[in-house]
Amino acid sequence: MKLGRFGQDRIGVIEGADVIDVSAALDVVPPLAWPSPSGDALVTRLDEVLAAARRLLPAGHRQGLDDVRWRSPVANPSKIVGAPVNYQKHLAESRGDRGIHHGGDVKTIDVCGLFLKATSSLVGAAEGVALRFPERRNDHEVELVAVIGKAADRVPRARALDYVAGYAIGLDMTVRGTEDRSFRKSVDSYTVLGPWLTTADEVGDPGNLDLQLYVNEQLRQESNTRYLIYDVARLIEYASSFYTLYPGDLIMTGTPEGVGPVQPGDRIVARIAGLGELRVEVRSA
């Protein structure tokens, strides 16, 4: 099933070119309590939400996919986990002369580990990317994102995919510069997720998905998740060996080669097979 969030916190099921409003399914999500448990409340109850959504589908209001404003399908992740240089060819370009120096010292994932992005950086497709430092280089990175479905603490890779609720397309936007990676990637709007969540059962093998990113209709990035250095299962094993992953936590799996700059006014289109198309406008903050 494909479940999205749009407009004023409506949720809908995507069928073909339509989104069907099933917002009444949110009745199964408990109201806000304090202190709230770690993790996203909707993803925590995702099975119940999907069951309620199925019941609501026949009578749900239908709209075209382009007629709504898509927001992040996950509202409140407790963590956004990033994977540095996780495609071999991106590692090569990062070390090479194409102008991506990561402070001149590129370490591999097994050496430097994973990083975290501020959860406040998360937006959906309709919100767009707002460049706070347009005078500096701001790069696009298209990434497969795994959404964690249940608490995962020291999970071995053989069972890791059992902890994935679904997948979405992610943009891991970056200001280049000397500051720490997590700082440069945590600008408001520098994590785009969407256009919706596709449940894991519909995706099957996350290790064989074509992905592309276009800027102003020009192809910039094109690869397949089979070229990941650490695949989704290994990333979950690695992350959960250090900290517990909670429902709704986002595992951004890293970006392939072709990373490049964007300017205000650019239009980014990112595609991953089976997950839809993420259309994002870039502007000044």
Residues that bind Mn ion (CB under 5 A): 141, 172, 255
Q: For tokens 């050496």, what's the residue?
A: 111
Residue 4 or 82 having the CB closest to Mn ion: 82
Q: How far apart are CA 124 and CA 276, in angstroms?
A: 13
CB of 255 to Mn ion, least distance (A): 5
CB of 50 to Mn ion, least distance (A): 29
Please say which residue, 44 or 223, places its beta carbon nearer to Mn ion.
Answer: 223
Strand pairing category for 191-199 and 2-6 = antiparallel
- Nearer to Mn ion by Cβ, of 163 and 190: the residue is 190
Q: 10 Å Cβ neighbour count for 189?
A: 22
Q: Using an 8 Å Cβ cutoff, are 88 and 227 in contact? A: yes
In whole angstroms, what is the distance from residue 162 CA to residue 80 CA? 19
* CB closest to Mn ion, residue no: 172
CA proximity to 262, closest of 199, 224, 214, 230: 214
- Closer residue to Mn ion, CB minimum distance, 93 or 172: 172
- CB of 181: closest distance to Mn ion in angstroms? 9
| DSSP code of residue 228 | B
Nearer to Mn ion, 52 or 171 (CB): 171
Query: Smallest distance, Å, CB 259 to Mn ion?
Result: 8
Name, in order, each residue with C-beta under 8 angstroms of 123's C-beta and a sequence gap of 6 or more: 71, 72, 129, 188, 189, 191, 192, 193
Cα–Cα distance, 2 to 166 (Å, whole number):
9
**Closest distance to Mn ion from the beta carbon of 180 (Å):** 14
